[in-house]
Structures are given as C-alpha cells and as structure tokens.
Amino acid sequence: MLTEMDQNKTPLFDALKAYNKSKVIPFDVPGHKHGVGLPEFAEYVGSKVLEIDVNAMECLDNICNPIGVIKEATDLAAAAYGGDYAYFLVNGTSSGVQAMIMSYCHPGDKILIPRNAHKSAIGGIILSGAIPIYIQPEIDERIGIAMGMSMEKVRIAMDEHPDAKAIFLINPTYYGAVSDVREIVKLAKKRDMAVLVDEAHGAHMSFHPELPIGGIQVGADMSAISTHKTGGSLTQSSLLVLNNEKLDVQKVKSIINLTQTTSASYLLMASIDVARKQLAIRGEELLEKVLELSRYGRDKINEIGGYYAFGKDLIGNPGVHDFDETKLGVHVKELGLTGYGVERILRSKYNIQVELADMYNILCIISLGDRKESIDALINALREIKEKYGKPGRGKSIITPPLKNPEVIISPRDAYYSIKRVVKLRDSIGEISGESVMAYPPGIPVVTPGEKITKELVEYIEALKAQKSMLQGTEDPYVDYIKILGMNS
C-alpha cells in the first residue's frame, strides 16, 4: 500500500549523494564534468550543485522509464498526495497539463474546460486534437478577476455534453479561488467523465486541514502539481499524480515521453524528493506558520484603509466554494492606483517583488520561505504608497469581458495548422482567429485559435488597450494586428 510508505525516505536524493561521495570518473555528459569545466559558475553557485548535476545512469535510474530510485521517489510522491502513481516532470506543470489532456482525449473528443485555463491547456488541446467546450468562470465585479466555476454552469455543460471525455479544473486559480471540486468529481463519475486538475498553484494544499482540498484527495483522476511554486522544490520541477486504477500508466508514460527531455535534471528531481518529504513530514506545522503570516498580512493591509486584501470573505460568492488564504491578493483600485503601478513602485522603491499584478490588483504569494519581517516590509510599503501616491476615488472603472461562449468554428488544432494571414484588428471582425488574445485582468482568453472574432470582442480588446491592460498571445506585441485563417487575396 502506497499510503503506508515511510515519507522520511528520500531515495533519489540519497542515491545522488552516494554517487557524489563515490567520486566516479565521468566519461559521460554533462561535459562540465562535475563543474571542473565551468569554474566561474561553480564558484558562484557552490561546487556541490555541479557535482550532482549529472545524467541518467543505472544507480540513478532514468526518467524516461523509471524502475529504480526515481520510481521509489515518485511512489512516495504519489502516496503523499493520496494517489496511486506519479511521474516527475522537469518542464513544469505545463507539460503535466498537456499530458493529462492527451491521456484522455483523442482528436475530436470533447473536453469541458474553464475559459480561464492556462495557455498550457490550450497547448494540450492543440496537441491532442480535442474539442474544447468552455465553461465561463464567474467574474468578481468588485475586484475584476475571474474566480472558479459555479456548479450550475458545470451541471449545464455536463448535461449538454454527456459525451465529453473529461472535465478540466483549476484548483486553485492564481488568485486563490476554488470551485467545488468534490461535487464536480461526484457529478463527473456518474457520467464516466475523467476529472483532470491543474494544481499549478496548489502543491501545498493537501498538507494542512484548513487549506482547500487537493483534487486527488477527493477522487480526481489526474493532477498536475507545480511543486516548484508552493511546494518548495526548484523552478521547473512538478509532479503528475494519477489516481485511477483503470488508467494505463504506461500509456501516460509514453505521452509524457513524446515531449520530455531524455536528459532530465537530477537537481530538479532530487529537489522534489526532498520537498515532498518536508511537506509530508512537517507540512502541517510549516503551513500553520504560512497561514498565520497570511492572515496577519491580510488583516494589517485591510487596516490601512483603501486597500482590499481579499480572502476567505469571498467564499459563497459565485465561483468561490473555498479560498486558499496563502494567496494574498490586494485590490488597489479604490486608492486611484493600478496593480501595475503598485508593482513597479514596490520593486523600484522598496525592493519588493510581487508575483503578479493586473490593472486593479497585486498578488503576493506567502509560502514556506516567508518570515514576519518580509510581511512587515510589505505592509509598511503599502502604507507609505497609500500616503505618497494614493488618490482615493480616482480608480479606473472595471471592464468585464463579454460573457457569451465563443463560437468555435474549427478545432484549435486545425486552426493551428491552417494557413493564416495578418490583418489589422478592426479588419478581423467576422473572421476565424489564428491565434489567442489573453487579457490580464481578468485572465481569460478573449479569443483562441479556431474561434469567430466578433465586433463585441474587438471592442472589448480596444477598451482594454485604451486602459493599458496587459494583452498577450498575438505575434504582434501591441495587438494592433491579429492572425486570421485564410490566404492573402
């Protein structure tokens, strides 16, 4: 039984340390040969980092076909999250999201998916040839950002598309909102639909009872987890956890191997091994402190006045079944400030880097590495920013996107492979889009490849541009031009 495994063990990390101790003479790659060939870098980062930057070999197993220490380490990771099987990922959760979609969807299969899914999900849809059936997330009109999905919309989508192979969930959203994952899993099981969970922002959640529940814990079939974001491991390292005896784990392996490097970094993988141990053994105690700091920071920021540090008070609003308090989002609009502006001032004047800013909010991630001093620095900086730069009542008005579901004319995959041409944004009305336009806020694609571009959408993009919101996705960085399907006439 995986659940009875000894989580104090770190099989991969131990094997790596044993390899280093044995002073092997390396005639294999990487060519820096334990750092000797890159002394300037070794001196700065520390020689050990390069001594354990090695490639696959018998004693260290191989990520492409784990049967040794990597398999032992991934079994421990699966057990820690309550799953049956796990894979290490060295290209972040993006690769896990793509593997999940490709594991369940063949070309032409439907997948129910929130419209605010990360671009890696659109990538998974293009790679698999799946047909996305979008569910519009709820938008909080006060703070201007997308939340989770309401059960009503989930039920309608499931009833209208009972043949969908899977439903995709974000648990939690970037800003911390959580849909009713347990209920969605129940409904999906009744319809024989798989539940695929994007837990890029939820690596820590399964380890403290006061945090929202992890997808695997309530029976989701697969979860892609960015251990590198809030779980403590190194950037790029993630997990794909499987929870379904019916799922062919070898098929999932071959899907991951389609795009995965054959030279995975042992630094990244070993960091997951140690981070998993820390979460499993000390997670609750460590996350208790993280929650204390988050609550302290949130309360103090709200006491300043003018700012709104939102959190569990959003629970019960549409699309917010639960909330991850470690996401400290602060709404700054009522002080006549923009999130982008506050982000810049925090960095340039206070040496503070936030995770994300949008037109109306900033987002600070509170995690295992935070201390009270850093929270106090943030509180004091926000207090001063209010005094020096605040102009209460002069905030920009919130623009919300047209909430109609897009008209999908051809599949994102077919659109991706079609011939395209570039036109001025205004001239694209009535055409089929050849690329995506993403808007922050609210973090929802305005249009994705294969969808009809309407006048309403173009006007929404123009309004966002006028407000200097961040738009992404088109080859043209300013979104004055967009690619549409079809040849030049």
User: Residue numbers of the site for ligand PLP (CB under 6 A)?
Assistant: 92-94, 97, 118, 120, 170, 174, 198, 200, 226, 238
Q: How far, in Å, CA of 14 to CA of 458, rounded?
A: 56
Comparison of 93 and 338: residue with beta carbon closer to ligand PLP: 93
Comparison of 271 and 428: residue with beta carbon closer to ligand PLP: 271
**Residue for token pair 């192979």:** 165
Q: Cβ distance 350 to 381 under 8 Å?
A: yes
Comparison of 54 and 437: residue with beta carbon closer to ligand PLP: 437
Q: Which residue is nearest to ligand PLP (CB)?
A: 92
In the chain the first and final C-alpha atoms are separated, in Å, by 64
Taking the complex as a whole, how short is the minimal distance between the CB of residue 199 and ligand PLP, in angstroms?
A: 8
Taking the complex as a whole, how short is the minimal distance between the CB of residue 12 and ligand PLP, in angstroms?
A: 19
Alpha helices in 52-150 (DSSP H): 69-80, 92-104, 119-128
> Of the candidates 176, 115, 217, 158, which has an alpha carbon nearest to the alpha carbon of residue 329?
176
Taking the complex as a whole, how short is the minimal distance between the CB of residue 93 and ligand PLP, in angstroms?
A: 3
The C-alpha torsion from 385 through 313 and 325 to 182, rounded to 10°, is -150
Comparison of 226 and 474: residue with beta carbon closer to ligand PLP: 226
Comparison of 96 and 406: residue with beta carbon closer to ligand PLP: 96
Q: Cβ distance 43 to 49 under 8 Å?
A: no
Q: Which residues pair with 327 in a beta bridge?
A: 365
Taking the complex as a whole, how short is the minimal distance between the CB of residue 208 and ligand PLP, in angstroms?
A: 20
Paired sense of beta strands 85-89 and 238-242, if any: antiparallel
Got the DSSP string for 340-361? HHHHHHHHHHH----SEE-SSE
Comparison of 361 and 428: residue with beta carbon closer to ligand PLP: 361
Taking the complex as a whole, how short is the minimal distance between the CB of residue 354 and ligand PLP, in angstroms?
A: 14
* Phi, psi for 118 (deg, rounded to 5): -65, 160
Q: Cβ distance 33 to 69 under 8 Å?
A: no
AA identity, residue 131: I
Taking the complex as a whole, how short is the minimal distance between the CB of residue 137 and ligand PLP, in angstroms?
A: 12
Comparison of 238 and 278: residue with beta carbon closer to ligand PLP: 238
Taking the complex as a whole, how short is the minimal distance between the CB of residue 237 and ligand PLP, in angstroms?
A: 9
* 3-class secondary-structure state, position 394: coil
Q: How far, in Å, CA of 344 to CA of 332, rounded?
A: 13
Q: How far, in Å, CA of 242 to CA of 89, rounded?
A: 13
Enter the tokens of residue 51.
């001594």
Taking the complex as a whole, how short is the minimal distance between the CB of residue 92 and ligand PLP, in angstroms?
A: 2
Q: How far, in Å, CA of 314 to CA of 179, rounded?
A: 12
**Residue for token pair 């990922």:** 89
Comparison of 118 and 253: residue with beta carbon closer to ligand PLP: 118
Taking the complex as a whole, how short is the minimal distance between the CB of residue 489 and ligand PLP, in angstroms?
A: 39
Comparison of 230 and 428: residue with beta carbon closer to ligand PLP: 230
